[in-house]
């Protein structure tokens, strides 16, 4: 394929992926907006706790298998090697992880149900079904990313988010009633992934799903340090974006967890939409560096950071002037919102988006380990701050801690970016695909 044609093909794929991830993020925002409007404060808070518990669990439990599959498929396809062993081994590992996780949740039903989910038997079984079904979803993401079927992957992510949002919409329209309808949406989203299983089997068979007798074995160690670094980054993201409601729930009630989740939406909403940009930023930077465009590379990062600063400045002005009213329009009048809290989160949002951009830049420059350490240190500092009673108000402690942690993260990643070894990540390499897949996950 000629370079120009290849560039156009990549551009079309990147645009579809960006649009798909952005749409998935917007649908996720719609889900919480409708839920907040149509449930009381306690019921909504319990949905938030359920959501946070699901996503922290699946990110830690299923990401390694997703990494294994996406990286190994990309590597073997690039080498024209058989992909059968990669798919079979990853499927076995995924099955074992899912069974083990299901067993742990069954054994821990009482503390999960009574301590985390306000004694709700329904929410517990939704948690169980969601976590279990997401195993298939993450396996599908790894398969589609590794085989570079990003358009299908984007469709899968949008379908998941749309399925979830439809349950909240049904409640808003009066078709369904109560908290259970919204909770079922959390479980329904990953169930959509099960529909893709026969499709993936057909794709595997078409591409040559046989297993060569002397095929190279694979293991969870595949990808070495890079895969581990990306996993650390993902865990750090979950700490920043989902740990807050769980920490507030541990010290206060579900309604307080719902409140802090809505305040964090000042950050989460732009982040969800920004994932569409992040999903294509790394491949763009990778190709730019591979072609020797170091100056253009730095200019692209600078332009992105300037745009983020401008957006954050506008967001800060809006939050200070009409923020409380906008939050009640978006999430209902269940809570009273503090201008200072919203201003703090607008500043934190700017730091966090800048950190996300610098993280992608550091990965593109071969500084995965340093980027991972930056995420680990900053997320750890955020969690320690939240656990220390230095600020009496739990919500304010999360707000200040998030912004301080995001600032620390941005500074550490800026240092990692400047001091990176300068080695180019290869376009279409397993490393690039893995980092691109990671950039999509939070938006999805």
- The model's confidence at residue 101, banded by pLDDT at 50, 70 and 90, is very high
Tell me, what's the pLDDT at 209? 47
Provide the 10 A C-beta neighbour count for residue 27: 23
How high is the pLDDT of residue 373?
94
pLDDT higher than threshold 80 for residue 428: no
Cα 349 to Cα 27, 146, 161: the distances in Å are 20, 31, 23
Q: 322 versus 421: which is more confidently predicted?
A: 322
What's the half-sphere exposure (Cβ side, CA atoms, 13 Å) at 242?
Answer: 21
| pLDDT at 294 exceeding the cut of 50 | yes
pLDDT of residue 186: 93
pLDDT attached to residue 7: 45
* Backbone torsion region of residue 426, taken as left when φ is above 0, otherwise alpha when ψ lies between -120 and 50, otherwise beta: beta
Distance CA 286, CA 430 (A): 12
pLDDT category, 277, cuts 50, 70, 90? Answer: low
Given a contact cutoff of 8 angstroms between Cβ atoms, the answer to whether 419 and 254 are in contact is: no
Q: Which residue has the higher pLDDT, 211 or 206?
A: 206
Calculate the average pLDDT of the chain.
Answer: 82
For residue range 381-419, list pLDDT tens digits in order: 999 999 988 888 888 999 999 999 999 999 999 998 887
Spell 51-67 as b/e; 16+ CB within 10 A means b: bbbbbbbbbebbbbbbb
Of the ranges 139-148, 224-233, 377-386, the best mean pLDDT one = 377-386
What does the block give as tokens for 365?
A: 């420059």
| Rounded CA separation 393/387 (Å) | 12
**What are the CB-based long-range contacts (under 8 Å, 24+) for 116-125?**
116/49, 116/53, 116/249, 117/46, 117/49, 117/50, 117/53, 118/42, 118/46, 118/49, 118/254, 120/46, 122/179, 122/180, 122/183, 123/46, 123/50, 123/183
The residue written with tokens 């589609």 in the block is 144
Give pLDDT, residue 261: 92
Matching residue, tokens 């730091």: 351
Instruction: Choose among 316, 378, 307: nearest CA to 344.
Output: 316
Alpha carbons 413 and 434: distance in angstroms, whole number: 19
Q: Which two tokens stand for residue 91?
A: 């499927």
- Dihedral (Cα; 253, 259, 260, 261), 10-degree rounding: 110
pLDDT of 112: 94
Per mean pLDDT, which range of 89-93, 95-99, 129-133 is the poorest?
A: 89-93
**157 neighbors 82 (Cβ within 8 angstroms):** no
Give the range among 144-148, 203-207, 250-254, 353-357 with minimum mean pLDDT.
Answer: 203-207
- Alpha-carbon distance of 440 to 277, in angstroms, equals 9
pLDDT value of residue 267: 86
Mean of the pLDDT values across residues 2-17?
53
Residue, of 268 and 99, whose pLDDT is higher: 99
Chain centroid to CA 184: how far? Answer: 20
Look at residues 396, 395, 410 and name the one whose alpha carbon lies nearest to residue 353: 410
Average pLDDT over residues 85-106: 89
Residue 353: the pLDDT is: 92
Residue 228 has pLDDT above 90, yes or no: no
Q: Is the pLDDT of residue 275 over 80?
A: no
Is residue 90 very low, low, confident or very high in pLDDT (cuts 50, 70, 90)?
confident
Of 56 and 443, the one with more pLDDT: 56
Question: What is the arithmetic mean of pLDDT over 38-61?
Answer: 92
Q: How confident is the model at residue 120 (pLDDT cuts 50, 70, 90)?
A: very high
* pLDDT at residue number 360: 82
pLDDT of 213 reads: 45
pLDDT in the model for residue 333: 85
Q: Six-digit token pair at 90?
A: 């990853």
CA distance 354 to 273: 14
| H helix or E strand, kind and range, residue 385 | helix 368-387
% of the chain with per-residue pLDDT over 90: 41
Residue 365 to residue 286: CA distance in whole angstroms: 8
């Amino acid at each position: 394929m000629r370079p120009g044609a290849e560039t156009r093909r990549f551009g079309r794929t990147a645009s579809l992926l960006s649009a798909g991830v952005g749409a998935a993020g917007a649908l996720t925002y719609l889900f919480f907006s409708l839920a907040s409007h149509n449930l009381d404060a306690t019921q909504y808070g319990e949905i938030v706790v359920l959501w946070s518990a699901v996503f922290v669990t699946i990110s830690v439990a299923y990401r390694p298998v997703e990494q294994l599959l996406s990286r190994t498929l990309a590597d073997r396809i690039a080498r024209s090697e058989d992909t059968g062993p990669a798919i079979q081994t990853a499927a076995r590992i995924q099955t074992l992880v899912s069974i083990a996780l299901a067993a742990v949740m069954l054994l821990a039903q009482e503390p999960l149900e009574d301590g985390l989910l306000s004694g709700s038997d329904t929410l517990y079984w939704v948690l169980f079904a969601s976590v279990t079904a997401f195993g298939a979803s993450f396996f599908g993401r790894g398969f589609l990313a590794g085989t570079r079927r990003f358009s299908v992957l984007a469709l899968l992510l949008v379908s998941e988010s749309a399925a979830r949002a439809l349950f909240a919409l049904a409640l808003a329209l009066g078709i369904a009633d109560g908290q259970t309808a919204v909770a079922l949406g959390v479980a329904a989203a990953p169930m959509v992934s099960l529909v893709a299983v026969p499709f993936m089997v057909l794709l595997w068979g078409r591409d040559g799903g046989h297993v060569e007798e002397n095929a190279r074995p694979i293991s969870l160690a595949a990808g070495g340090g890079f895969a581990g670094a990306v996993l650390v980054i993902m865990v750090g993201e979950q700490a920043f974006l989902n740990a807050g409601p769980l920490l507030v729930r541990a010290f206060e009630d579900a309604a307080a967890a719902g409140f802090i989740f809505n305040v964090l939406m000042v950050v989460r909403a732009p982040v969800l939409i920004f994932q569409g940009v992040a999903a294509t930023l790394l491949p763009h930077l990778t190709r730019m560096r591979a072609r020797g465009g170091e100056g253009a590379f730095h200019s692209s990062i600078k332009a992105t950071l300037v745009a983020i600063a401008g957006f954050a400045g506008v967001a800060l002005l809006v939050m200070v002037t009409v923020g409380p009213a906008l939050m009640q329009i978006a999430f209902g009048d269940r809570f009273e919102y503090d201008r200072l809290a919203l201003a703090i989160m607008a500043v934190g949002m700017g730091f966090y988006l800048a950190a996300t951009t610098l993280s992608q830049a550091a990965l593109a420059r071969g500084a995965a380990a340093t980027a991972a350490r930056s995420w680990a240190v900053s997320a750890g500092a955020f969690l320690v701050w939240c656990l220390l009673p230095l600020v009496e108000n739990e919500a304010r402690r999360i707000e200040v801690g998030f912004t301080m942690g995001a600032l620390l993260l941005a500074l550490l990643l800026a240092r990692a970016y400047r001091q990176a070894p300068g080695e180019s990540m290869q376009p279409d390499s397993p490393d690039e695909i893995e980092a691109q897949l990671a950039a999509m996950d939070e938006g999805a």
